[in-house]
Amino acid sequence: NAGVTQTPKFRILKIGQSMTLQCTQDMNHNYMYWYRQDPGMGLKLIYYSVGAGITDKGEVPNGYNVSRSTTEDFPLRLELAAPSQTSVYFCASSYWTSNEKLFFGSGTQLSVL
Amino acid sequence: AQTVTQSQPEMSVQEAETVTLSCTYDTSESDYYLFWYKQPPSRQMILVIRQEAYKQQNATENRFSVNFQKAAKSFSLKISDSQLGDAAMYFCAYTSPRDDKIIFGKGTRLHILP
């Protein structure tokens, strides 16, 4: 079983470019989350979703957009990439509530130059 | 807004010894959940332990246990008989059913000395 799959694993963007980070889970989980991890800063919540068609902002949503058209997929869109968005991005999911174990993807290392 | 604070950026412990990682949080909720996650060099996040705020009994998972002090809003992780494989970043996290956000602290890097 695949669990939470993130693509790509690595990406280099030029300033001003756009891209979509893909996240798919095959566990029929309702809750999905996007985090960014910067050295010394822990994980910061970007956006989250409690089910298909429902999304909400986290702690650091500026510069990002999400959609949740299906239960399985939760893509993260970066518009007009900036150096400040250089980070490791993690997607995570849980089955029915936020108080359950989170299943994490393996992360996407993004550099904006 | 809820916050999670880990005041120890790095810690070291001798193999087979016991170490305690600190975490404090701020919330006005009475119903919430706390977690410790481990991130080894592989970068994969692993749930270590979970505590429900309405349970007075401290959670335990093998060599890992917590000291949950609800009034003090403190949630420390004790690792007994430390092993080389325990070397990792450890993150404390908080969530409440009211808003479903899961907030993480900045993490503590744990070194195990052979």
Q: pLDDT (tens digit, 9 = 90+) per residue, A41-70?
A: 899 999 999 999 999 999 999 999 999 999
Across the range B48-66, mean pLDDT stands at 95
Domain ranges of chain A: 4-107
- Mean pLDDT, chain B, integer: 95
Residues B3-113: name the CATH superfamily: Immunoglobulins (2.60.40.10)
What CATH architecture applies to the domain A4-107? Sandwich (2.60)
For B106, the closest chain A residue by CA position comes to A42
Query: If pLDDT is split at 50, 70 and 90, which confidence band does B98 have?
Result: confident
Phi, psi of B86 (to 5 degrees): -80, -10
Structure-block tokens of residue B68: 């949950």
CA torsion through residues A89, A95, A96, A98, sign: negative
Q: How far is A22 from chain B (nearest CA, A)?
A: 17
Chain A interface includes B2 (CB < 8 A): no
Phi, psi of A85 (to 5 degrees): -95, 5
Across the range B22-41, mean pLDDT stands at 96
Residue count of chain A, please give it.
Answer: 113
Domain ranges of chain B: 3-113
What are the tens digits of pLDDT across the range B78-95?
999 999 999 999 999 999
The answer, yes or no, to whether residue A14 has pLDDT greater than 90, is yes
